[in-house]
Structure 1
């Protein structure tokens, strides 16, 4: 407890620490958004590229344009929400995991069951001794086998924690282990096919069914990252770290299921440009690896803070976690950065642009808020201003002033009085607040408080919305005031 309080106190009192954490958070957020661009590109392009095994008529250009067509369709259906899209995806992903697991077992038995020895850590040490620098560089490709795990956090907004744990441990992870083991067994006998192992290792009768399911699975993988991007933008928006965009909640059950129209179309355009510009999964993979490992590393770093300040984990466990996980991730990070000039610059360029936008917006947002907070008008001053107005200067009707402040009168009121020689008979200062529930009943939406004395007719009003409440309706302020 004392350790947590000390860390919290140091962070709160250090301007550098707060600025560093802000930049680190924005970097991680920007990388996740960049991940939301790269995941659809590499997933769809790699899946569609498998058709080359069936026909030579599919040139690189045709594969690229087919991938773009699929991406456009994917982004067009986002407005229907994860709930509706997910119902059609769930059976497909179950078939996908069943197929890759089954093919993995088939290849494992058929080609070389001795690959099971790879679970012995001795072999990875031998690999590094034998290949030295090349082994380290190859980690940039190895990391692509675990992509997607960096975005598991986003699924919490769409599904329960328990459902994610069950599906990951009982379906996803076992299926992937079987698939990779089968591919390793296949490569033991066909190491010249390493560049296209997935499709080459599929038995001929299953090629077309597997191709169709692979394309559909790539769409689902893309959907997961797109949904994650929407979620993290919503969270950034609520913290004043992102420009205001329209947030559409597509579910009454889960607050995290959101759709952001502007971001959806920007992501679509970015995916099209990346697919047209890079054209191959190799170059996109270099960029993808950097985005993924950056997100993982930053997530682990923030998790250490959570372990100290919130979970209050034993210090030895924290040190062990930081040393083991941190070392592994930093090794991977150094490897993927080696390919910076081979496409790896893309997520960093994305991050730089997004961080600039987010920082400028957040800085202006904070300056505005603190200005209002520091210069808010006291009730006594409001009384003085209103009483200075003669009766002839009080117009019939209602005047509404918007402010982020929940308490106090915003300084804009003083400017208004200085420039407008009259006041309405009733003044209402309104603040809008979002609550983490789907709907707020109309009789509980408005909280009014009268600014004393009563005869000046000045009110504070907090308007509370749930995430499914429409905000464009005509709110009955006048009736509720009366």
Structure 2
């Protein structure tokens, strides 16, 4: 359920003109005695609002005039799927594929006391890989995608489309009309889902908790961007000690640091520049480790295949007790990078990810572990350097080179993933402003953030220099990996309950089986908290504090504007002012407020008693979906009186959409403004009377037809258009030729005088420090710097 307008907001029609569609009628009373037309009226989010819903600030009529794109993605053939599966090998599986470098050394940190323990650990590895990456992720979690996009924010966005859980009160009815905003119709099994949804919507504590859980998982994944390069590169480079025995551990760490610095310095060139080499290198790596595994299995001990019998797990824990439980912190490293299957789903598709994992990664990695187990049954004393010790002599150097390349690729994937997550967080108002550069025209979502890149580089160098070995880094890595997986289990359970409406049996089994296994592994990883396990929690705590502080003030700033928005007759009062000058050109006034006129406008008019000949109040809004078609991006409305030429415009983006450059954005907005003027002229002259007469608002496709502006408008004005339309479009073009000025509200937020001490610390000190040390808004938006006018204002929250 989505509210048509925000409950408790002004019921007056702020800057709204009633269209020829008679949607705003006097209040009526339904059969159950409920009054219609109130601003708190609610309706199903997958339906159009009722005919007599009060307009207020909702733009559902304007949105209904916009033709939608394709709701469902086009079917992908097998040839394309196989091509994507090959690409996914290099992008998705580098981290999990390099785990044989360090799993056994991290599991048997004190050496192997009984060679039968190897069978127990091998059995644990087999069933861990089968249970979590294969069954949980490949066949369940991948289905919980957001129109093809995965990851923690995708799950949060998917849930927020079905329930009003966002802390920012800007969910509106018209957003549900976007073609990708896919919702399911109500079914007989939906009572439980509606009950849970209502509980969520009516519980502020649950909304905050869900948000905190989401940013916790996000922070952990960003922390992986630090730990993955450290452990992967250090493990791969450590193999050089096999031939260069004189090298000390400090020197090996120095080589790893040099490689890490080079890796981060080349990030600005983008993944796409070297992307085509990823697949062949990782595929070569998988072939090598599988072949070496088969060689060791045949040469040393074929009997380790009996580890497929799970009874060896029971025997292992009986024999080792607490030590066996502690060793699970090392075993869990066999599935590092599993979350990448879901997080990188947007670049591929579900079937491609499933094929890549099942056909290539799963057999290759299991053969590598089986071969190492067979080798260690004969040479248990070499457990600290199992991988390189088990390589046949002639293959040592080729394998070493490929291992280092594979480790770099695995690191590259996690660094790029951290960039993408921070870009999404910033878009959703959960991270301070940073400059996001899109590095690829072919692949969406490949971004580079210079500030974050150098911060990650410094952290990676520091971690590698301090710890120098993979043991303590592995302890930290395990906590980060399992924490994110457990949070994914919780969010997918919520999806199963509220969206999939799965049977109670499966809803219960999913968190019990998968969540229970993850909690066991997590408890083991926490046992080594003081031995490096605290690292991801420290990273997460710092990132969560930054994200939560920024979002807290962002939400309160939005609510302040909402509570202080300008009354509906403000523009009419401006018309009556004789001393108000009209400046030539078009003015774009930016505001985050998507309902009504923001308080920054009267502040501007008070300081500079003038207004542009054409003024567009632009609100850039991000919806909880991944992408929005360009033709659905802009929604306009006249602000009365119409001949004053003031417009409201909501520009909608998905969290994976790239914001256009200033010139392109300007052209798109003015082009859609002309289209809007043309359509309004047609509608006002009875161009579509059928919708008005029938009043059927539940099926916009039958009542509202798309009316395209003739192409001749791009050159000259056609005489086929109404006179008022011709004059207004000509005026807009003339004012555009005179110049466009972008006015950006720069608000200084302070805590109100009677605020408590905690709020003053967060707002006046923490937020102020973060704001001053990150980029200013004009540096990350579509605003051209040479035509920017900043309007300052202080909000007390």
Query: TM-score with structure 2 length normalisation?
Result: 0.57
Q: Does the C-alpha gap of structure 1 residues 451 and 118 become closer, same or farther in structure 2, counting only changes over 3 Å?
A: same
Report the equivalent of 1:256: 445
Structure 2 CA distance for aligned equivalents of residues 392 and 360 of structure 1 = 40
- Of 446, 452, 471 in structure 1, the residue corresponding to residue 640 of structure 2 is 452
**Which secondary structure state, in structure 2, belongs to the residue aligned with residue 432 of structure 1?**
strand
- Unpaired segments of 5 or more residues in structure 2? 1-189, 671-731, 737-797
* 1:309-348 to 2 correspondences below 5 Å: 309-348=498-537
**Structure 1 residue 471 corresponds to structure 2 residue 659:** no
Q: Does the C-alpha gap of structure 1 residues 254 and 2 become closer, same or farther in structure 2, counting only changes over 3 Å?
A: farther
**Structure 1 residue 413 corresponds to structure 2 residue 601:** yes
Question: What per-residue deviation string (whole Å, max 9, x for no partner) do you get for residues 257-295 of structure 1?
Answer: 222222122111211111111111111111111111111
Deviates more, 1:18-27 or 1:175-184: 18-27
What is the CA RMSD across the aligned residues, in angstroms? 2.3
Question: What per-residue deviation string (whole Å, max 9, x for no partner) do you get for residues 155-204 of structure 1?
Answer: 11333332211111100111000000011111111111111111111111
Structure 2 CA distance for aligned equivalents of residues 19 and 30 of structure 1 = 16
Structure 2 CA distance for aligned equivalents of residues 448 and 368 of structure 1 = 24
**Which secondary structure state, in structure 1, belongs to the residue aligned with residue 618 of structure 2?**
strand
Deviation, 1:9, is 1.1
Deviates more, 1:423-432 or 1:228-237: 423-432
Structure 2 CA distance for aligned equivalents of residues 440 and 251 of structure 1 = 19
Report the equivalent of 2:405: 216
Deviates more, 1:150-159 or 1:426-435: 426-435
Q: Does the C-alpha gap of structure 1 residues 480 and 147 become closer, same or farther in structure 2, counting only changes over 3 Å?
A: farther
- Of 390, 395, 413 in structure 1, the residue corresponding to residue 578 of structure 2 is 390
**Which secondary structure state, in structure 2, belongs to the residue aligned with residue 310 of structure 1?**
helix
- Unpaired segments of 5 or more residues in structure 1? none
**Structure 1 residue 204 corresponds to structure 2 residue 458:** no
Report the equivalent of 2:292: 103
- Of 85, 92, 112 in structure 1, the residue corresponding to residue 301 of structure 2 is 112
Deviation, 1:371, is 1.8
Deviates more, 1:88-97 or 1:419-428: 419-428
Report the equivalent of 2:210: 21
Aligned length: 479
Structure 1 CA distance for aligned equivalents of residues 296 and 663 of structure 2 = 58
Structure 2 CA distance for aligned equivalents of residues 323 and 464 of structure 1 = 39
Given that 1:439 and 1:468 are in contact with CA atoms closer than 8 Å, whether structure 2 keeps it comes out as: no
Given that 1:252 and 1:468 are in contact with CA atoms closer than 8 Å, whether structure 2 keeps it comes out as: no
Deviates more, 1:37-46 or 1:289-298: 289-298
Structure 2 CA distance for aligned equivalents of residues 54 and 268 of structure 1 = 29
Given that 1:98 and 1:175 are in contact with CA atoms closer than 8 Å, whether structure 2 keeps it comes out as: yes
**Which secondary structure state, in structure 2, belongs to the residue aligned with residue 401 of structure 1?**
strand
Greater helix share, structure number: 1
Report the equivalent of 1:173: 362
Q: Does the C-alpha gap of structure 1 residues 79 and 24 become closer, same or farther in structure 2, counting only changes over 3 Å?
A: same
Given that 2:479 and 2:536 are in contact with CA atoms closer than 8 Å, whether structure 1 keeps it comes out as: yes
Given that 2:242 and 2:388 are in contact with CA atoms closer than 8 Å, whether structure 1 keeps it comes out as: yes
Deviates more, 1:278-287 or 1:145-154: 145-154
Question: What per-residue deviation string (whole Å, max 9, x for no partner) do you get for residues 334-354 of structure 1?
Answer: 000000100111110001100
**Which secondary structure state, in structure 1, belongs to the residue aligned with residue 347 of structure 2?**
coil
Report the equivalent of 1:80: 269
Structure 2 CA distance for aligned equivalents of residues 362 and 26 of structure 1 = 11
Query: TM-score with structure 1 length normalisation?
Result: 0.93
Structure 1 CA distance for aligned equivalents of residues 336 and 642 of structure 2 = 62
